[in-house]
């Protein structure tokens, strides 16, 4: 796990659900096949209603049309991020597109666990409502060690909640990797 992640922020609203993050129509791709896995990145956030994407006009796409990667490394959502079904493909799609950190006021528990268990994204909870403070495209940096988000564009720093018990699982790269390092499962 990197101690810092720096990049452009992508701002979303409240109640972003897993069906919006990766719509069911794109679940026909095989995540175990590298040639097909990249399509999860191409279609990440494809189902989010326009009014909840990026800038207030809602026209900022997470991944440009017909491309596989995003320029946004840090996703910032509001309340109840990742609600809906238990679709483990949602954090995979975001990570495959190039996101590394997702910050929200609070997460749906299954999305949070899928981020951690798969080692896809670093899920951080904010102390305050960041979607009203930060703008899509702002240059931001998450510092894991200090538990802070710095918006270099606006020269402001915000506190994040501690990672707690998930830190060693994230450090290991996911729940199976963590279990293997602890001798809980054999290679």
Q: Is residue 20 part of a domain?
A: yes
Most confident of 56-65, 130-139, 163-172: 130-139
Q: Which of 39, 38, 57, 40 is nearest to 49 (CA)?
A: 57
| Residues spanned by the domain of 52 | 4-181
Check which CATH number belongs to the domain holding 119 and give it. Answer: 3.20.19.10
Q: Are strands 139-143 and 122-125 parallel, antiparallel or unpaired?
A: unpaired
pLDDT band at 28 (very low <50, low <70, confident <90, very high): very high
Asked whether the beta carbons of 161 and 122 are under 8 A apart, the reply is no
Q: How many domains does the chain have?
A: 1
Q: Which of 84, 60, 81, 59 is nearest to 71 (CA)?
A: 60
Is the pLDDT reported for residue 58 higher than 70?
Answer: no
Look up the pTM and report it: 0.92
Q: Which two tokens stand for residue 137?
A: 């495209």
Q: Is residue 186 part of a domain?
A: no
């Amino acid at each position: 796990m990197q101690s810092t992640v720096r990049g452009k922020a992508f701002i979303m609203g409240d109640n972003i659900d897993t069906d919006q993050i990766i719509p069911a129509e794109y679940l026909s791709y095989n995540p175990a096949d590298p040639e097909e896995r990249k399509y999860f990145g191409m279609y990440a956030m494809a189902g989010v209603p326009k009014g909840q994407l990026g800038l207030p006009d809602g026209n900022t796409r997470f991944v440009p049309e017909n491309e596989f990667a995003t320029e946004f490394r840090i996703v910032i959502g509001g309340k109840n991020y990742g609600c809906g079904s238990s679709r483990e493909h949602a954090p995979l799609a975001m990570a495959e597109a190039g996101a590394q950190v997702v910050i929200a006021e609070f997460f749906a528990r299954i999305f949070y666990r899928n981020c951690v268990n798969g080692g896809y994204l670093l899920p951080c909870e904010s102390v305050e409502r960041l979607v009203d403070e930060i703008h899509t495209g702002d240059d931001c940096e998450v510092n894991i060690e200090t538990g802070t988000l710095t918006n270099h564009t606006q020269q402001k720093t915000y506190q994040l909640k501690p990672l707690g018990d998930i830190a060693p699982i994230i450090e290991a790269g996911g729940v199976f990797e963590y279990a293997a390092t602890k001798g809980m499962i054999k290679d």
